[in-house]
Amino acid sequence: MKNEATIQFVLDHREEDVRALALRGSRDKEVDLPWALDQIQGWQTARHKLPSWAAIDGIIYPPHLSMEQCSSEATAIYKCGIVERLPESCRETLIDLTGGFGVDFAFMARCFDHACYVERKEHLCDTARHNFELLGLPHARIINADAEQVLDDMKTEPASTLLYLDPARRDSNKARTYAITDCTPNVLELLPRLLKCGHHVLLKLSPMLDWHKAVTDLGDHVAEVHIVSVGNECKELLILIAANHTGEPSVHCVNDGQPLIYLPSQDSIAPAIATNDDTRYLYEPNASVMKAGCFGLLTGRFPIKALATDSHLFVSSEQVEDFPGRRFAIIAVTTMNKKELGRALSGITRANVAVRNFPMTAQQLRQRLGLKDGGDCYIFGTTNATGEHRLYICNKL
């Protein structure tokens, strides 16, 4: 911990603008200003991202980039849900081989009798040791080593062990990487050793990855694929691997706790296409469903039809309340004909404009329509099954 002057500076100024504080500085020479600014900025991020941590005075936060990259409380709690569904016999020991700031570890550790945090950077181990004590994790064991070293030192563990990895997704030049083989550690190389040491392996991968390719690369033991979104923004791709699993994995598309679960074989047909204008409601899949690309499944599971194969918007004549995404009541449908547009947009001065499979960007379409952004009206520019451009003017349900 830092000296009392620095700690008091953080407490006194943590509600203030960090840039203004950096310019103003501190009159007290005992204050470690760079460290204090990291703590203030970290706490301000944690208020929204990790509220239960922000409520505890004394938590030490890493520099800004690490705070931006760490898991949120919502996604860490979701991982706990994955763990809690495992058989009780498989939940004795957690070994997090890529500890980092320790958010995922701290939440999942409560589900296990034994929990081991592994991190190759000594300063992160020191931070974790301090924070875990404040978080009430007396059973947390901290090892300052890299994942490969720990696996080499481990004997084959019983089936009760879950190994967790969140490989670093930046190269030696700090540039972003996405492919599994470009991350550190390389999980594909480690996988045979991981499955010898733990009955289950949970991987956190980049949401930019093609999950189909990730499953193919990781092999037949993939049991579950989780595409996790928060606030309709895709945040994480989680893959659960089980040593005794065979067959296809289940796919879990989740946005703010709303799940859509299916098997890939259930999404083997093309989506049903709308062939008439008897539509009163429009549907936009959430970010996780869009990432999964399970559009055929949607028209098979819900009484909806796609506007076109590549538009990824759906319509129905009756409202579908449990659709996994946003739902809208259609007020009008119009072409880009000037007179039609004038009638359809009468009285509308602002709207939330989006495009799917349309020859303009949302900003270009908004400018073309002469509308301000925002308000209660939603306009979707898209292309129908016959290749005609249409605007769907809607109210959100």
Taking the chain, what is the end-to-end CA distance rounded to the nearest angstrom?
A: 51
Per-residue pLDDT for 59 more than 80?
yes
Q: What is the pLDDT of residues 135-188, one digit of tens each?
A: 999 999 999 999 988 888 876 555 678 999 998 865 555 556 567 888 888 899
Instruction: Give the pLDDT band of residue 268 (cuts 50, 70, 90).
Output: confident
Quote the CA–CA distance of 173 and 287 in Å, as a whole number: 30
**Sequence-ordered list of residues with C-beta below 8 angstroms from that of 174, at least 6 positions apart, any chain:** none
| Helix, coil or strand: residue 370 | coil
**pLDDT for the residue 177:** 57
Q: What is the pLDDT of residues 318-372, one digit of tens each?
A: 999 999 999 999 999 999 999 999 999 998 999 999 999 999 999 999 999 999 9
What percentage of residues in the chain have a pLDDT greater than 90? 69
Quote the CA–CA distance of 366 and 171 in Å, as a whole number: 40
Q: Say which CATH architecture domain 70-265 belongs to.
A: 3-Layer(aba) Sandwich (3.40)
- Structural element, H or E, at residue 274: none
Fold topology of 4-68 = Arc Repressor Mutant, subunit A (1.10.10)
**pLDDT for the residue 171:** 55
Q: Calculate the average pLDDT of the chain.
A: 91
**pLDDT for the residue 37:** 93
Mean pLDDT score, 375-386: 94
Instruction: Give the pLDDT band of residue 67 (cuts 50, 70, 90).
Output: confident
Per-residue pLDDT for 1 more than 90?
no
Residue 63 carries which DSSP code? Answer: -
Per-residue pLDDT for 299 more than 60?
yes
Quote the CA–CA distance of 155 and 378 in Å, as a whole number: 59
Q: Tell me the two tokens of residue 372.
A: 């301000």
Mean pLDDT score, 229-238: 95
